[in-house]
Each structure stands twice: as C-alpha cells, then as structure tokens.
C-alpha cells in the first residue's frame, strides 16, 4: 500500500485485494491491542468500570447525535413545583436562622 501511496496513487485506485488484505490486517492488529487491554483491565479489577464508562459514552454520543427529547409541559411543571419548594425552604431556613441571631 505504501508503495502505491508514495507513487501518488489514491487508495481507490489500488488493487482491491491488496486494500482488503491491508484492512483485514488493521482489524486483526486492533483486535490484539483490545484483547491485551481487556486482559490488563481484568487483572487490575477495572474491567467493569471501563465497560460501564463506555456504555455511558455511547449514550452521550447517541444523545448528541440524535438530540434529547424533553417534555416541555413536564419540565415547566417541575420548574414551578421546585421554585415553590425552594421558596418554602428559604422561609424555613429564615425562621431557623432568626432563632440564633435575635
């Protein structure tokens, strides 16, 4: 492959069999690296943590790509409820504070 590229030949113009063989070797090399990483992660007791982090990353990628649905009515209702709850808590905190700072 490198010889073709050095001659300025685009990958699309390199014989298909050669490209497929090169790609297959890339995949096999990547697999070997991954298997060694899994072996180390299991030995260090970090395999489960790593896989869970990857699942979280996968979700984040999907959400960023596809967007995230938000129910506007539920969001506004929750906002109003939480604002009311915060105001009540502020009042309660004020009453507690008054006992100590009179």
* Amino acid 101: pLDDT: 84
- Is the same domain home to 13 and 46? yes
Q: In this structure, what are the phi and psi dihedrals at residue 14, rounded to the nearest 5 degrees?
A: -85, 145
C-alpha angle 19/22/25, rounded to 5°?
150
User: Is the distance from CB of 35 to CB of 44 less than 8 angstroms?
Assistant: no
- Is the same domain home to 49 and 76? no
- Is the same domain home to 40 and 1? yes
- Is the same domain home to 61 and 13? yes
Average pLDDT of adjacent 10-residue blocks, the chain of 102 residues: 92 94 94 96 96 95 91 97 98 91 78
Number of domains in the chain: 2
Which structural domain range is residue 82 located in? Answer: 70-102
User: Is the distance from CB of 11 to CB of 21 less than 8 angstroms?
Assistant: no
- Is the same domain home to 50 and 3? yes
* Amino acid 100: pLDDT: 84
User: Is the distance from CB of 34 to CB of 52 less than 8 angstroms?
Assistant: no
* Amino acid 75: pLDDT: 97
- Is the same domain home to 58 and 91? no
- Is the same domain home to 56 and 89? no
Distance separating alpha carbons of residues 33 and 25, to the nearest angstrom: 12
- Is the same domain home to 15 and 46? yes
Which pTM was predicted?
Answer: 0.50
């Amino acid at each position: 492959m490198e010889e073709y590229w050095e001659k300025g030949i685009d990958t699309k113009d390199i014989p298909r069999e050669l490209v497929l063989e090169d790609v297959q070797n890339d995949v096999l090399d990547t697999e070997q690296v991954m298997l060694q990483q899994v072996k180390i992660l299991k030995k260090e007791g970090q395999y489960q943590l790593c896989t869970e982090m990857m699942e979280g990353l996968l979700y984040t990628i999907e959400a960023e790509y596809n967007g995230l649905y938000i129910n506007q009515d539920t969001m506004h209702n929750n906002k109003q409820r939480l604002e009311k709850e915060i105001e009540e808590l502020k009042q309660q905190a004020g009453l507690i504070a008054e006992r100590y700072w009179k």
